[in-house]
Amino acid sequence: MQSGESATFTAGASGSPTPTVQWEVSSDGGGSWSEIAGATSTSYSFTAASAQNGYEYRAVFSSSAGSATTNAATLTVAEESYNWSGYAATGKGFSSVSGRWTVPRVTCTATTTYSSQWIGIDGYNSNTVEQDGTEADCFSGTAYYGAWYEMYGDNAVNEGAEVALSTSKYPVSPGDAMTATVSLSGSTWTLAIADTTKSWNYSIPIASPSPAPERSSAEWIAERPEVGGSLAALSDFGSVSFTGASATDGTTSGPISAFAFQPLEMVESTLLAAPGPLDPTGESFTSTWYASS
């Protein structure tokens, strides 16, 4: 859910005598629980804040006959970002990230707008990003689609800027199924992206820069990029669904939900784009466009 929206948890129990209810909250993954003052009905509602992301809630029913506690429910609240809509997983020593998505079809007007869809390592609270993805832009009413990779912050690779793949050799169209990975082995990064619809794949090895990237996060993102030193207007991409979203860090390998994770919604005075919840597998979600700027 988005920060500022109302969250409601509901639970029920029956018995004789009729049990009372007390809602509890945990901010440390269920390690400790605190009673919520005044939360003594079968429904508990409150205005969610981004700082509450990951908090757990449960209801304790009690009577003279005993007590019963519900399973914990986890609150997921998106953090605001100027340019990202998606999920960031945090940890230590990420060595790989992967994901799939279908290239969205943009709705173009006369305005020039931009959007990109990508997976990567770093960028969430760090100064580098190792990433690859697709572009879905509009130039004076005409849609443009392409694929790219980027070692953001590494001046040895195109001065740290995006490297666009040849659209004649590596064409991209709306509806194409894309697969991408970013991985590190030893001191070599490998950035790979494939269009399984058009049966092409691209991969490039890149020596790790110095100083080495922090590798403290992994991302699955719909973005409005920076153009000419300022954030661009966001193309109307409708929605884009990421699937097979997984990563590996120093201790864990699995889907987004296997890590501490943060949903990110794109906001600039109004909501531009926001991710939906993770599916039950923890590796799929849909990011939806709401406004260009």
Nearest to 216 by CA among 239, 185, 249, 244: 249
Banded model confidence at residue 3, pLDDT cuts 50, 70, 90: confident
Does residue 252 have a pLDDT over 80?
yes
Two domains, one topology: 6-74 and 79-289? no
DSSP per residue, 125-154 = SSS-EEEEEEEEEEETTEEEEEEEEEEET-
The structure tokens 């760090």 sit at: 126
- Predicted pLDDT at 253: 97
For residue 238, give the amino acid letter. Answer: G
**pLDDT tens digits, 135-193:** 999 999 999 999 999 999 999 999 999 999 999 999 999 999 999 999 999 999 999 99
Mean pLDDT over 124-134 rounds to: 96
**How far is 41 from 197, CA to CA, in rounded Å?**
53
In the CATH scheme, what is the code of domain 79-289? 2.60.120.700
Domain boundaries, the chain: 6-74, 79-289
- Predicted pLDDT at 116: 98
For the beta carbon of residue 206, count every other beta carbon within 10 angstroms: 16
Domain 6-74: top CATH class: mainly beta
**pLDDT tens digits, 67-115:** 999 999 988 888 999 999 999 999 999 999 999 999 999 999 999 999 9
| Residue that wins the pLDDT comparison between 183 and 65 | 183
**How far is 252 from 144, CA to CA, in rounded Å?**
38
Does residue 4 have a pLDDT over 90?
no
Does residue 28 have a pLDDT over 90?
no
Query: Kind of pairing, strands 260-268 and 79-81?
Result: parallel
